[in-house]
Structure 1
Amino acid sequence: MTIAEAKQVRIVDFLAQLGHRPQFVKSEQYWYLSPFREERTPSFKVNDRLNEWYDFGEATGGDLVELGKHLYGTDNASEVLACISRHTGIESLPRIRVPTIPPRPVEAEMKDVVVVPLRHYALLSYLHTRRIDADIGRMFCREVHYELRGRRYFALAFGNASGGYEVRNPYYKGCILNKDISLVRHMHGEVQCRVCVFEGFMDFLSYLTLKQAGDGTICVEAPCDYLVMNSVNNLKKALVQLQGYAHIHCYLDNDLAGEKTAETIAGMYGERVRSEAGRYADYKDLNDYLRDRKR
């Protein structure tokens, strides 16, 4: 078996062969009790559409080969492939219905990409629908214009630590260049003792809008730095940045992924971590709280 062949094996079927059944399934996300340890609530997720897994307890994930490295206790890809091949019934497992060469992401087809200061009325209007203060939006976001398949588009652009941009408009959510976390200092060149952690930049902008409005129910009074993960898959990178903070405030989504992310951070940094999701318990996330859209 080659690496390419192994990646074509559906992880959900492979786990079933090993006796692991999902606790529940939601929107092509299969949640399992982790195969790496004993636990009572699921913290291991498989994205069946992408055929990738992520373990919140270990803050790591990947394809079937990476899973095999953890299951079989070796970093040697050849050994992993041999173990998968030898596993009872593995040769009869169905392959996922994707081409051998994965489709290019839509960002790879973007041409003539230009990033400019945020000023487009439609994008400011979009922020207004999300109740984000316009001045805060202009301070932390830019706008990106690009050509895609012969047509021109534009979107909000939020910079990350690798020089890439998280991109969003009412119809599209993605990333241009490298995917990474974003770290915003309260004061340039100075690290605070507190940091607020968000999953996406809309929640970060929502927090700043609430803070500007003096919402003491949600916001921390002391000065804080801000870390935006831009995806829970960036948790491992976030954990490295969080080690320098004495107080870590997690403003994550009120769902299983947000809960497990907060638990993983707390598992590493203990009493330094506080989940603030209870401050907006009736809402899915901070932006829903800002818009008063209860679950």
Structure 2
Amino acid sequence: MNIEEAKSVRIVDFLARLGHHAQYVKSEQYWYLSPLRKETAPSFKVNDRENEWYDFGEAIGGDLVELGRYLCGMGSVSEALAYIERTAGNASLPRIRLPAAPPRPVEADMKNLMVIPLRHHALLSYLQSRMIDADIGRMFCKEIHYELRQRHYFALAFGNISGGYEVRNAYYKGCINNKDVSLIPHLRGEVQSCICLFEGFMDFLSYLSLKQIKNNTVCIDVPCDYLVMNSVGNLRKTLAHLQGYGQIHCYLDNDLAGQKTVETIAGLYGGRVCNESVRYTGYKDLNDYLRGKRL
């Protein structure tokens, strides 16, 4: 078995062969008790569409070859391939998963991109519908215009440290250019002792809007830097930026992925981590709290 053959084996079928079955399935995401360690709540996710896995408890993931290496005690690739072949290489298991060609990302077809200061009334109205202060929106967001299939569109654009943009309007959510985290210092050229961590930029803007109206239930009254993950999939990149902070305040979603992410960060940085989602218990995220939209 070579690498490409191993990657074409469906991870869900492979895990079933080993006796591991999903605790629950949601939108092609299979959640398991980790096969790499003992746990009582599922933190191991398989994206069945992409045929990739991620262990939130260990902050590791990849394809089946990488999983095979971990199951073999971090052996070589050749050892992992032999292990996968022994497990998946008989006729009783539908061994080869024929992967569909990945859909072409819509961003690849965007043309004539133009980034300008935020001023379009429709985008400001969208922020208002999310109860985000307009001045805060203008301070941290841009306005991006682009052509797609001979039609003109525009959206909010929130920059990241790799020069990419998280892009959002009322109908679309995506990323243009490189996917990465966004780091916003309290003072340029100076690192604070505390940092606030958010999953998406709408939560970051919600926090600043709450801070502006002096909401002490959620906000903390100390100077902080801010880090926006722009996806829990950016956990590895996030961890590197958190290393130098004495206190890490996590304002992540009140869902399984958010809580597992906090647990992973706490496992690495211990008592420096504060799970601030308890401040908005009963709400999915900070923006829902700002809007009064309960679970």
- Aligned residue runs from structure 1 range 269-288, under 5 A: 269-288=269-288
The 3 A distance-change label for structure 1 pair 224 and 90 is farther
Match of 1:258 in 2: 258
Match of 1:102 in 2: 102
Give the unaligned 5+ runs of structure 1.
none
TM-score, normalization: structure 1?
Answer: 0.95
1:213-232 CA distances to partner (integer Å, 9 max, x unpaired)?
A: 10000001001000110010
Match of 1:81 in 2: 81
Q: Which is worse superposed, 212-221 or 61-70? A: 61-70
CA-CA distance at 1:76 after TM superposition: 3.5
Match of 2:152 in 1: 152
- Cα distance in 1 for partners of 2:59, 2:160 equals 20
- 1:262 alignment partner AA: V
Q: Which is worse superposed, 183-192 or 145-154? A: 145-154
1:72-113 CA distances to partner (integer Å, 9 max, x unpaired)?
A: 2346333322321222555632544533x4232221121111
- Cα distance in 2 for partners of 1:143, 1:271 equals 39
Q: Which is worse superposed, 101-110 or 176-185? A: 101-110
The 3 A distance-change label for structure 1 pair 22 and 134 is same
- SS of the aligned residue for 1:87 comes to helix
CA-CA distance at 1:54 after TM superposition: 0.9
1:115-146 CA distances to partner (integer Å, 9 max, x unpaired)?
A: 11111111111111100001100100101111
Match of 1:195 in 2: 195
Would you say the 8 A contact 1:14–1:90 is kept in 2?
no
- 1:162 alignment partner AA: S
Match of 1:165 in 2: 165
- Cα distance in 2 for partners of 1:183, 1:165 equals 13
Match of 2:238 in 1: 238
Match of 2:94 in 1: 93
Would you say the 8 A contact 2:89–2:95 is kept in 1?
no
1:205-252 CA distances to partner (integer Å, 9 max, x unpaired)?
A: 000000001000000100100011001011111111101000110001
1:29-53 CA distances to partner (integer Å, 9 max, x unpaired)?
A: 2111111111111111112222221
Would you say the 8 A contact 1:17–1:89 is kept in 2?
no
- Aligned residue runs from structure 1 range 46-85, under 5 A: 46-74=46-74, 76-85=76-85
Across the aligned residues of Structure 1 and Structure 2, the Cα RMSD in angstroms comes to: 1.5
Would you say the 8 A contact 1:118–1:143 is kept in 2?
yes
Match of 1:136 in 2: 136
- Cα distance in 1 for partners of 2:115, 2:46 equals 35
Q: Which is worse superposed, 23-32 or 275-284? A: 23-32
Find out whether 1:179 has 2:140 as its counterpart.
no
